[in-house]
Amino acid sequence: MTDDAVPATDAAATATGDDAGAVDTAQPAAAPEAAAQCLNCGAALTGPYCAACGQRDDRHLHSLGHFLAEAFEGLTHADSRLWKTLWPLLARPGFLTREFFAGRRQRYLPPFRLYIVVSLLFFIALALLPSGSIVHIDVGGAGTTEAPGVASAPAAQSPPATADGLTCSNLSYEGPGSAWLQPRLILGCQKSVADRSSLGRAFLHNVPRAMFFLLPLIAAFMLLLYWRPRRYYVEHLLFCIHNHAMIFLLGTLLVPVFWLAGGTAFSAPLSFAVLLWLVWYLFRAMRVYYGQGRARTTLKFLFMGGVYVTCSIVMLAFTVLYSVATL
């Protein structure tokens, strides 16, 4: 062994010492960062929105300005389906129903949400008008008070009228539930005499409830009418929902117009033009969605028009009765 040779044990010790020094001076490895979790459902996040529940990953506290900006964005930008839905609803009869059942649904507002939004806007627009300017139901007359479905006793048998010639105690109802309904009709009539606008307000309040009974009924008649090729009941129901949503939206836009034009020469031609446009719209909607010829669609349109008018009159009569009884 020469002097230059290094013993194996010394070399190993030297190497070990060098390695140990290297380990001591190295920075410790960073622990992997925990994946962000959704605050709503706890699922792992892979982007700004949760893939499981759809909630946006927004962790900072909201100032008032941030909250208002987010609300404005939600109305105008984030849920842009509302704005993409309203124009086809007005201008393209039957289009939204056809798109829904073709599977193209994400780009438009869901039918039930659309119906609730536009009907709410319509009745808010009516409520903002001066009392009695649109709907005014005057219960009373010269010695008698009459309501749909309520028979009035002869004037000679009625008790003395009120100071202004109105009386309610001669109301007589002999239909189903007369023992429960009769005293409530008299009480409601007396309240409406005391406050002439109360019945109109109650009627407007109950009309949306009546529509929830009317729409399924109309859809049931359409199910009987369109039996070949076979169609599901929900198709007719959503078709009616889209058409009524259009009527409510159009009414929301026209309520201030008719209020301003009330009593002028402009109101009658406008009413006639709106009626013609509604007839064309509903006929075209049936043609577009159900895809049948003009002759067959015309016959079914006329039949459904008669059914709709009849059911609407009956429903309105019951709505007035219910409004008086619960006043």
Every domain of the chain and the residues it spans: 82-133+198-325, 151-194
Instruction: Give me the chain's average pLDDT, please.
Output: 76
Q: What integer pLDDT is reported at residue 296 of this predicted model?
A: 94
Q: What integer pLDDT is reported at residue 99 of this predicted model?
A: 94
Q: Choose between 149 and 259: higher pLDDT.
A: 259
For residue 149, what pLDDT band results from cuts at 50, 70 and 90?
A: very low
Q: What integer pLDDT is reported at residue 300 of this predicted model?
A: 95
State percent of the chain over pLDDT 70.
67
pTM: 0.66
Residue 6, pLDDT above cutoff 50? no
∠ CA 259-260-261, nearest 5°, is 90
Q: What integer pLDDT is reported at residue 34 of this predicted model?
A: 54
Question: Tokens at residue 190, please?
Answer: 């007396």
Query: What backbone phi and psi angles, to 5 degrees, belong to 179?
Result: -65, -35
For residue 172, what pLDDT band results from cuts at 50, 70 and 90?
A: low
Is the Cβ–Cβ distance between 137 and 114 less than 8 Å? Answer: no
Q: What integer pLDDT is reported at residue 17 of this predicted model?
A: 47
Question: Tokens at residue 188, please?
Answer: 């409601």
Is the Cβ–Cβ distance between 249 and 118 less than 8 Å? Answer: yes
Mean pLDDT of the 197-201 span: 71
Helix, coil or strand: residue 151: strand
